[in-house]
Each structure stands twice: as structure tokens, then as C-alpha cells.
Amino acid sequence: MDYFPLFLNLKQQACLIVGGGEIAVRKLRLLRSAGADVTVVSPELCDEMHDLVRSGEVRWQPAQFSITQITGQRLVIAATDQASVNQAVFSACEAAGILVNAVDDPSHSRFITPAIIDRAPLTIAISTGGGVPVLARHLRAQLEALIPHGWGNLAQLGSELRQYCKEKMPDPAQRREFWEAVLAGPIPDQVFSGQIEHARAQLIAAIDHPETTPSGAVYLVGSGPGNPDLLTFRALRLMQQADVVLYDNLVSAEIMEMVRRDAERIYVGKKSNNHALPQEEINQLLVRLALEGKKVLRLKGGDPFIFGRGGEEIEELAQHGIAFEVVPGITSAAGASCYAGIPLTHRDYAQSVTFVTGHRKDGEVDLDWPRLVNPSETVVVYMGVAQAGYIAEQLMSHGRDQHTLVAIIERATTAQQRVVTTTLIELAERIEQEGIKPPALLIIGDVVQLHDKLKWC
């Protein structure tokens, strides 16, 4: 290794920054976040550093650097644009055995500052040895997106219960296996979702009874309209952690490719009038798998609470005392309209929007037709392709103009997306002519005329 990675406790430790410009400000904020007692030496200060001096965050010595200023310092940073000054600071600190860094000058540094991901008390540092700091920042940005802020809370919780765990489990090997099981179970997700006290109680119970079979949990996750890039970070993390995944017909193959490779996959697909499993059996299966101690991912197209029967599934879980979490997804109406360049509301065309489903119940589409005929309202119909002719007929018979524009959006947000525009009177015929198949939805209203102008993909 070019550098030995080390974390320093600088709380209330004397540290010196030589320089008063913008770079010095950045280093000051870093040291202050670690609790250091900082003094700045510089004949002049930038405006931001002046503000920090006035607020009491730093002491200022308005002078040129001299060797006497390093006396009693734990750490020194040279942040000037003068190579001779930086070299003098380095030489003085080397002679005194004080840790020193010259910003952007590894040859005059005994240590370098890494790119930092702060999830205190969890801290992750990335370094390229001072050679390519932009690369370290690039990697940090990627990890920032992948590591939930809740990991810091989890680390804090584990620290608080560490001694209690040692007393209950004196054997280090047993403790290691215990913590590995905890991190693979539902407790971290409870912390990430803000249920810290509940997680604390669960963790204490697990410490008191380490041989108990771990309890499972169910995660009801919206996978969005089909494009993997539209998944939430939370959805992606859970997809890569699940023991078993229940997925339906609207979850794209590209999204399923992102599921943990060794997870069990159960297709419970739903197509019009063709369900692989009835809803009641899906509910019971979720309960059974969770009671077996598994981490169960219920992956749904779009958003689980918009025509996804998510409420029915978590009602069953709640009745059996199963821990669950709901992760929202981009609903198909939002994804389809954005990718088609059709705003669902617009001051000139529509002041409201209504989502309805064209899925038949007992053979009929049962909607409140009179309230769907307002010309200033956009109507979005989910699962409406098969019943498009009947829907158009009912809207027209209740007063919606037969020339009202309709957009049919097939496989929205994916590379196979297709947008066909027509009118209510021609809707059924156009669907048949174009050979449109589900998944597709309908957008009905004057906003559809913006498609040609605003489409971007």
C-alpha cells in the first residue's frame, strides 16, 4: 500500500491550517466535522473564512507562516497557492514529527485526505493515493447512491448493544454468526425505514434468544412502468437482498435480471382473465414464506397502491402479525405520460386528472361515467385495451365529445414503447388496426394534442 488507511480521533485536538482561501475553508469544514479545535494562519482571509472566524468556528492568526506556529499541533494542513510556503510547512512538521498535508501536493504530505462517505458513526473513505482525486470522488458519488443513510443509525444501534451482546454471548464465533444473521434479516430494513425503536426491541429479543428461528418479512415493491432506470434505490437494494421474489406479468424481464441471482422466483402473473394464482392464494403464500423466516419481495409493476391490490396483500400480512414495508414505484400513468410528452394536467387544456381501471369485474367495467366526461379533465385508463370500445362508447353516450383525443401508449418507458393517437370514436378500430397488446394504457383528453410538440423519445 502507498498509504496506510487510518481513522483519527481529532475531537478537541489542536489542528492548524496555513492559508485563508477557499481550499482552506473546505479543509476547515472537514476538520470541524470531526470535532477538531482549528487555528488558521494567513495574512488575509476570503469572505467565507471571515464569516467562520466571526461565528467562532475557527481562531485566526493574521500572520505569515513561522515554525513556532506548529508547536502543540496534532495535525497541520498547508492550503496555500505558494509552493515555497507549503514546502516550509512540510519541512517544519517533518522535523517535529507532526502529521502534515499539503493540498494537491503528495510529495509534501505525510497523509492525504480521502473522499468520504459520512454515515456517522459509519465512515467510508476512498483514496487513489493522491494521484486521481476526481476518480475517488466519482466512486464516492456511486456509493452514496447505494448505501442508505440508515446504515449510520444501524451502526449506532449495534454499538449501543455491543457490550450487552458480549455478556449474553461470550463466544466470539457465536457473536460473529449472530451479527451476520442480523445483518441478513429484517432488522436493518426496519432501521432504514425509521422504525429504530422497534428494531431495537427486535434486536434485544434476538440477543436474549439467539437460537430462535429468525422472523421473516415482506417487502411490497413497485418496479415502475418497465424501464430499469426508473427503479428507486430502495427497490434495487431489496431486489438484491431477497430470499424469494413473487413477481407479476407487468414486471419486465430487464428488471428481473437485477434480482439477486440465487433468489427463488415465483411467477404469480396477472393477465386479463388469466391469473397464475388467485389473489387469495398469493396473500396466503406471502404469509407462509414470511413465517418460514424468509425475506420476501413482492415485486409489482408500477406502484403497488395504484390498481395493484397492494392494500389487500398487506391487510393479510397485518392480520398474521407479519412485518412488512411498502416501497412506492413510479405508476404507469406518470411514466407513460412523461415518456410520451403528454402532461396529464396543463393550465390551457386540463385542470384535473383521474385514474381508472378498465379491468372487468364480473364481466363489466363499472365506472362512474358521468364524472368522466368533463372536457377539462384528463382520464387515464389502466388495463383498458381489451375494453377500449366499450369505454369509448360509454364516455360518448354520457356526453364526452366523440372527437376527444386519445393516446394509446404500449410498453411505456421501454425501448419498445409505441404511442398511437386517435379519437374516442375511432379508438377500438385503431387498436385493432395497429395490433396493440397489453401492457398499454389510454390517456383521454385535450392534453394529447401536445404529444407531437413535446415528445422526446
- Specify the pairing of strand 270-271 against strand 115-119: unpaired
d(CA 15, CA 211): 49
Q: How many residues are listed for the chain in this entry?
A: 457
d(CA 227, CA 251): 10
418-423 sheet: strands from edge to edge: 352-357, 377-382, 440-444, 405-410, 418-423
Verify cis geometry, omega within 30 degrees of 0, for the bond prior to 439: yes
3-class state of residue 70 by DSSP: helix
Please tell me which residue in 248, 294, 295, 303 is annotated as part of the active site.
248
437 is annotated as an active-site residue: no
Q: Which three cell numbers stand for residue 144?
A: 452514496
Q: Where are the alpha helices (DSSP H) in 363-404?
A: 388-397
d(CA 440, CA 418): 9
Q: Which three cell numbers stand for residue 139?
A: 466512486
HSE on the CB side for 228, CA within 13 Å?
Answer: 10
Please tell me which residue in 27, 270, 294, 300 is annotated as part of the active site.
270
Q: Which three cell numbers stand for residue 284?
A: 396466503
Q: Are 252 and 228 in contact (CB under 8 A)?
A: yes
Q: Which of 412, 424, 418, 421 is nearest to 449 (CA)?
A: 421
Q: What are the Cα distances from residue 225, in Å, to 233, 255, 359, 396, 457?
A: 15, 10, 18, 29, 15
d(CA 400, CA 141): 51
248 is annotated as an active-site residue: yes
Sequence-ordered list of residues with C-beta below 8 angstroms from that of 52, at least 6 positions apart, any chain: 25, 28, 58
d(CA 431, CA 205): 58
d(CA 79, CA 295): 50
DSSP 8-class letter at 49: H
Q: Which three cell numbers stand for residue 156?
A: 449506532
CB neighbourhood size of 320 (10 A): 13
Please list the active-site residues. Answer: 248, 270
